[in-house]
C-alpha cells in the first residue's frame, strides 16, 4: 500500500516536471503578460481559458490509475487560471477540464468534474476578493490544499457506492493534495518571480528615462554655458591675460567676459550664478548680457554694477542671484578699478614682496535687492603682479574625504607658480585643483582668470 | 541631510545638520516652503550643525527670506560657523540677514518686535 502510494506520488511529480515546462511557456505568452498587468480582454481571457482548459485535460490524461481511479492534477490549471485571470478564466478552464473528466465516466465522474468546476470558480472569486491581484505563493498553496480537500469531500458525498468512494479517497487523497499543492507552489513561484521581474524592469526603464532626460538637460546647460564664454582672450598692452572654465558635471553657471572700452580700457568680468543646470545657464546668459549692455559707454565700475544689479534684481525670481566681480583695467595708467558684488575676492600677489591682497569691497550679490550699494576701489598693478580671479568651484573643490581645496592651497599654488605666464598659471591652478580632487565628482564649475602685469611699454 | 525643527510660540526653529550643498539645499527648500505654505511667518535658522554652505544653500535662505518679508515675516539666523558666516559675508548677505550668536537672541528679537511700537 505504502509502495503504491509512493510510486503514485513519484509519477505525479514526474508529470509536474512536464507541467513546469508548460507553465514556463504559458507565463511567457503575451496574453498572460496582459492579464498580469490587469488588462483583461475578451481575447486574452479566451486564450487563457483554452490554455488552462487544455492543461486541465492534460492533467486528467496524465493521471495515474489507483484502484481504478485516476489520481491527477486536473484542478491545477483551472485554479491557477482563476487565481491569475479571474472568474471567467477559472470557470472557462474548469468547464473544459471538468467536462472532459465527465465524459470519461466512471462512478466518480460526476463528483470529480463538479469538484474541478468548483475549484476553478472559487479561484476566480479569490482573485476578485484579493482586489484583482495574484494571491502569492503561500496563498496559492493553501488554496490548492483546500480545493483538493473539497474535491475529496465531494467524491465522498456524491459518488456511489459510498464504500468504494472511501477506498478511492483513502488511496488518492494524499498524493492528489500533495501533487496539486506542489504544482501550485511551482506555478506561483514562477508567477511571483515574473511579477517582480516586470516591476523591476519597469522601475529600471523609468530610472533610465530619467537619467537620459537629466543627461540631456546637463548637455544643454553645458552647451549654453560654453557657447556664451568668449572664444579668445584679448591682447593687452603691458598685461598678460588668460581665462578658462571647467564645467562641473552639473553645470553651475559660471562665466567670465572681456568688455573692451574706449581709451585702452578693458572691462573684466567673472561671475557665478546660483543654482544648477539649465536654469543656472539661462540666468548666466541673462546676467552676462545685462552686464555687457550696462558696460556700454564710459561708465565707472560702480555705475555698471549698480545698473546691472537693478536690471537683474527686477528679473530675478525665487532667490536667483549672481555673485560678480567687475573690474576696469586701464592699460595706460596700469590701474584696476573694481566692484565686488558678493563674489569670492580675487587675490593679488605682489610680484616684488610676495604679499597677498584680497580684492574685497562693500557689495552684495546681484539680483538680491534693487538699489544696492556697490563700492568701487582701485589698485595699481606693477610688473610681475598677479591677479587671480576665481569662482568658489576652485576653493570648494573637494577630495574623497570632503576636504576642500581651500583658499590657502590656492594662495600657495599661486605663490609657487607666479613666474609662469597667465595661461600657464591658469593651467597650473586648474591642474592642482583637479589633482587634489582626484577625480571626485565636483559640485561646481571651476573658473579662473589670471591677469599678470608685464613690461611697461 | 537631517533637518530638525521645533516651535517656540509662533516662531519655528529649523536646525539643519550637515553640509548645505546642492542636494541638501533642495531638501531644506522643501522644508522651508512647507513651513511658509503652512502659514509660518517667523523662522529662526539655527546653523550650529551646518559646517558648509554652497551658493545653492544661500539661494534657499534668500528665497525664504524674500517670501517671508513679503508676507510681513522674517527669517533670522543664529549660531553660524565661522566658515559659513564668511560665505554669507562674501556674498554680502550679512547686510540682508539678521544674524545672532545665540538662538535665544534671535527668538528674543522676534518677541521684542511683537511689542506694540506705538
Rounded to a whole number of angstroms, the distance from the CA of A324 to the nearest CA of chain B is 9
3-state secondary structure of A210: helix
CATH code, A200 = 1.10.1760.20
Contact B59 A275 (CB under 8 A): yes
For residues A95 and A67, the model is more confident at A95
Query: CA-CA-CA-CA torsion for B34, B35, B40, B44, nearest 10 degrees?
Result: -150
A190-248 tens-digit pLDDT: 999 988 888 898 899 999 999 999 888 888 888 888 888 999 999 999 999 999 998 88
| CB proximity under 8 Å: B 64-103 to A | 64, 66, 90-93, 95-96
Tell me: do A354 and A294 sit in the same domain: yes
Cβ burial of B97 (10 Å; 0-12, 13-18, 19+) is middle
Q: Tell me, what's the pLDDT at B118?
A: 44
Chain A residue with minimum CA distance to B21: A443
Q: What is the DSSP letter of B100?
A: E
| A171 has pLDDT over 90 | no
Give the count of domains, chain A: 2
pLDDT range class, residue A3, cuts 50, 70, 90: low
Q: CA-CA distance, B118 to A199, in Å (whole number)?
A: 65
| A19 has pLDDT over 80 | no
Count of other CB atoms within 10 angstroms of residue A309: 32
Tell me: do A235 and A355 sit in the same domain: yes
- Per mean pLDDT, which of A43-57, A238-252, A430-444 is the most reliable? A43-57
Cβ burial of A86 (10 Å; 0-12, 13-18, 19+) is buried
Residues constituting chain B: 118
Q: Tell me, what's the pLDDT at A413?
A: 95
Q: CA-CA distance, B46 to A161, in Å (whole number)?
A: 87
Partner-chain residue, chosen from B54, B64, B92, that has the shortest CB–CB distance to A342: B92
A343-396 tens-digit pLDDT: 999 999 999 999 999 999 999 999 998 899 999 999 999 999 999 999 999 998
> Which parts of A138-277 are beta strand (E)?
239-246, 254-260, 265-273
Please report whether residue A218 resides in a domain. no
Please report whether residue A223 resides in a domain. no
Q: CA-CA distance, A305 to A314, in Å (whole number)?
A: 14
Tell me: do A197 and A306 sit in the same domain: no
Contact B93 A365 (CB under 8 A): yes
Q: CA-CA distance, A339 to A359, in Å (whole number)?
A: 9
Q: Residues in chain A whose beta carbon is closer than 8 A to a beta carbon of chain B?
A: 250, 252, 272, 274-276, 318-321, 323, 341-345, 362-365, 368-369, 372, 392, 396, 402, 404, 443-444
Tell me: do A400 and A263 sit in the same domain: yes
- Among A164-178, A348-362, B77-91, which is the least confidently predicted range? A164-178
Q: Tell me, what's the pLDDT at A167?
A: 85
3-state secondary structure of A168: helix
Residue A169 belongs to what H/E stretch?
A: helix A162-227
Q: Treating both helix axes as pointing N-terminal to C-terminal, what angle do B22-37 and B55-70 enclose, rounded to 10 degrees?
A: 10
Tell me: do A72 and A126 sit in the same domain: yes
Based on DSSP, count helices (H) and strands (E) in chain B, helices before strands: 4, 6
Q: Tell me, what's the pLDDT at A387?
A: 97
CATH code, A365 = 3.60.40.10
Note if the pTM is more than 0.90. no
The arithmetic mean of pLDDT across residues A58-82, rounded, is 80
Tell me: do A265 and A200 sit in the same domain: no
Q: Treating both helix axes as pointing N-terminal to C-terminal, what angle do A406-416 and A422-437 enclose, rounded to 10 degrees?
A: 140
Query: Which cell is A184 given?
Result: 501550485
- Give the distance, in angstroms, between the CA of residue A382 and the centroid of all CA atoms in the same chain: 54
For residues B115 and B43, the model is more confident at B43
Q: Tell me, what's the pLDDT at B29?
A: 93
Chain A residue with minimum CA distance to B52: A396
A105-151 tens-digit pLDDT: 888 888 889 999 999 999 999 999 999 889 999 999 999 999 999 99
3-state SS, one letter per residue, for A321-372: CEEEEEEEEECCCCEEEEEEECCCCCEEECCCCCCEEECCCCCCCECCCCCC
3-state secondary structure of A437: helix
Residues in chain A with CB shorter than 8 Å from the CB of B22 are 250, 276, 443
The arithmetic mean of pLDDT across residues B39-67, rounded, is 93
Q: Is A68 left (phi over 0), alpha (psi -120 to 50) or beta?
A: left
What separation in angstroms does the CA of A432 have from each of A46, A291, A429, B48? 70, 31, 5, 32
Residues in chain A with CB shorter than 8 Å from the CB of B58 are 274, 321, 365
How many alpha carbons fall within 13 Å on the CB side of residue A202? Answer: 7
Rounded to a whole number of angstroms, the distance from the CA of B47 to the nearest CA of chain A is 19
| A11 has pLDDT over 80 | no
Q: What is the CA radius of gyration of chain A?
A: 40
pLDDT range class, residue B117, cuts 50, 70, 90: very low
Q: Treating both helix axes as pointing N-terminal to C-terminal, what angle do A42-61 and A76-85 enclose, rounded to 10 degrees?
A: 160
Partner-chain residue, chosen from A321, A363, A444, that has the shortest CB–CB distance to B59: A321
Q: What is the CA radius of gyration of chain B?
A: 13
- Among A168-172, A405-409, B72-76, which is the least confidently predicted range? A168-172
Please report whether residue A216 resides in a domain. no
Share of chain A above pLDDT 70, in %: 95
Tell me: do A113 and A261 sit in the same domain: no
- Per mean pLDDT, which of A274-288, A374-388, B1-15 is the most reliable? A374-388
Contact A318 B21 (CB under 8 A): no
Rounded to a whole number of angstroms, the distance from the CA of B61 to the nearest CA of chain A is 8
Please report whether residue A295 resides in a domain. yes
Residue A443: domain span = 228-453
Tell me: do A8 and A138 sit in the same domain: yes
CATH superfamily of B2-105: STAS domain (3.30.750.24)
Average pLDDT, chain A: 89
Partner-chain residue, chosen from B66, B90, B95, that has the shortest CB–CB distance to A319: B66
Tell me: do A355 and A241 sit in the same domain: yes
Tell me: do A153 and A281 sit in the same domain: no
Please report whether residue A409 resides in a domain. yes
Rounded to a whole number of angstroms, the distance from the CA of A358 to the nearest CA of chain B is 11
Residues in chain A with CB shorter than 8 Å from the CB of B63 are 318-319
Tell me: do A238 and A306 sit in the same domain: yes
Please report whether residue A215 resides in a domain. no
Query: Which cell is A133 given?
Result: 491581484
Please report whether residue A210 resides in a domain. no
Tell me: do A191 and A244 sit in the same domain: no
Contact A341 B19 (CB under 8 A): no
Q: CA-CA distance, B61 to B57, in Å (whole number)?
A: 6
ipTM here = 0.87
Mutate to test the interface with B, among A443, A445, A446 (most CBs of B within 10 A): A443
| A440 has pLDDT over 50 | yes
Amino acid at each position: 500500500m505504502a509502495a503504491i502510494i509512493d510510486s503514485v506520488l513519484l509519477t505525479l511529480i514526474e508529470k509536474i516536471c512536464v507541467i513546469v515546462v508548460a507553465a514556463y511557456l504559458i507565463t511567457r505568452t503575451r496574453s498572460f503578460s496582459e492579464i498580469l498587468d490587469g488588462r483583461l480582454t475578451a481575447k486574452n481571457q479566451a486564450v487563457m481559458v483554452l490554455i488552462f482548459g487544455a492543461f486541465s485535460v492534460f492533467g486528467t490524461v496524465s493521471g495515474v490509475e489507483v484502484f481504478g481511479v485516476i489520481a491527477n492534477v486536473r484542478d491545477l490549471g483551472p485554479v491557477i487560471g482563476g487565481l491569475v485571470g479571474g472568474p471567467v478564466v477559472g470557470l472557462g478552464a474548469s468547464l473544459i477540464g471538468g467536462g472532459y473528466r465527465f465524459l470519461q465516466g466512471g462512478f466518480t465522474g460526476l463528483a470529480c468534474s463538479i469538484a474541478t468546476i468548483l475549484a476553478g470558480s472559487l479561484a476566480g472569486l479569490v482573485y476578485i476578493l484579493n482586489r484583482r491581484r495574484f494571491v502569492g505563493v503561500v496563498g496559492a498553496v493553501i488554496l490548492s490544499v483546500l480545493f483538493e480537500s473539497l474535491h475529496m469531500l465531494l467524491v465522498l458525498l456524491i459518488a456511489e457506492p459510498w464504500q468504494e468512494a472511501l477506498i478511492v479517497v483513502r488511496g488518492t487523497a494524499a498524493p492528489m493534495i500533495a501533487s496539486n499543492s506542489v504544482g501550485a507552489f511551482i506555478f506561483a513561484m514562477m508567477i511571483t518571480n515574473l511579477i517582480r521581474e516586470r516591476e523591476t524592469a519597469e522601475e529600471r526603464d523609468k530610472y533610465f528615462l530619467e537619467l537620459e532626460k537629466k543627461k540631456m538637460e546637463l548637455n544643454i546647460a553645458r552647451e549654453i554655458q560654453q557657447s556664451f564664454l568668449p572664444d579668445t582672450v584679448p591682447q593687452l598692452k603691458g598685461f598678460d591675460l588668460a581665462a578658462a572654465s571647467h564645467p562641473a558635471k552639473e553645470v553651475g553657471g559660471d562665466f567670465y567676459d572681456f568688455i573692451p572700452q574706449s581709451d585702452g580700457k578693458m572691462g573684466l568680468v567673472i561671475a557665478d550664478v546660483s543654482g544648477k543646470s539649465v536654469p543656472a545657464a539661462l540666468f548666466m546668459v541673462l546676467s552676462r548680457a545685462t552686464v555687457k549692455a550696462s558696460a556700454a559707454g564710459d561708465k565707472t565700475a560702480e555705475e555698471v554694477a549698480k545698473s546691472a544689479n537693478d536690471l537683474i534684481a527686477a528679473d530675478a525670481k525665487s532667490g536667483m542671484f549672481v555673485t560678480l566681480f567687475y573690474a576696469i583695467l586701464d592699460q595706460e595708467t596700469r590701474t584696476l578699478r573694481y566692484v565686488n558684488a558678493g563674489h569670492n575676492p580675487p587675490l593679488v600677489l605682489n610680484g616684488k614682496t610676495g604679499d597677498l591682497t584680497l580684492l574685497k569691497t562693500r557689495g552684495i550679490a546681484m539680483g538680491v535687492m534693487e538699489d544696492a550699494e556697490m563700492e568701487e576701489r582701485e589698485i595699481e598693478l606693477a610688473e610681475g603682479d598677479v591677479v587671480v580671479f576665481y569662482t568658489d568651484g576652485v576653493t570648494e573643490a573637494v577630495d574623497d574625504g570632503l576636504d576642500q581645496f581651500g583658499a590657502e592651497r590656492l594662495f600657495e599654488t599661486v605663490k609657487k607658480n607666479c613666474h609662469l605666464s597667465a595661461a600657464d598659471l591658469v593651467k597650473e591652478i586648474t591642474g592642482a585643483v583637479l589633482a587634489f580632487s582626484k577625480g571626485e565628482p565636483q559640485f561646481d564649475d571651476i573658473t579662473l582668470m589670471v591677469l599678470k602685469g608685464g613690461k611697461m611699454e | 541631510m537631517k533637518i530638525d525643527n521645533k516651535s517656540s510660540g509662533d516662531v519655528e526653529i529649523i536646525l539643519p545638520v550637515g553640509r548645505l550643498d546642492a542636494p541638501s539645499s533642495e531638501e531644506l527648500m522643501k522644508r522651508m516652503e512647507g513651513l511658509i505654505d503652512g502659514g509660518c511667518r517667523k523662522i529662526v535658522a539655527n546653523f550650529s550643525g551646518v559646517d558648509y554652505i554652497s551658493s545653492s544653500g544661500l539661494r534657499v535662505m534668500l528665497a525664504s527670506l524674500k517670501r517671508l518679508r513679503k508676507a510681513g515675516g522674517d527669517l533670522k539666523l543664529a549660531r553660524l560657523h565661522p566658515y559659513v558666516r564668511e560665505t554669507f559675508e562674501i556674498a554680502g548677505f550679512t547686510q540682508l540677514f539678521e544674524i545672532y550668536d545665540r538662538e535665544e537672541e534671535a527668538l528674543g528679537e522676534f518677541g521684542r518686535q511683537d511689542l506694540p511700537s506705538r
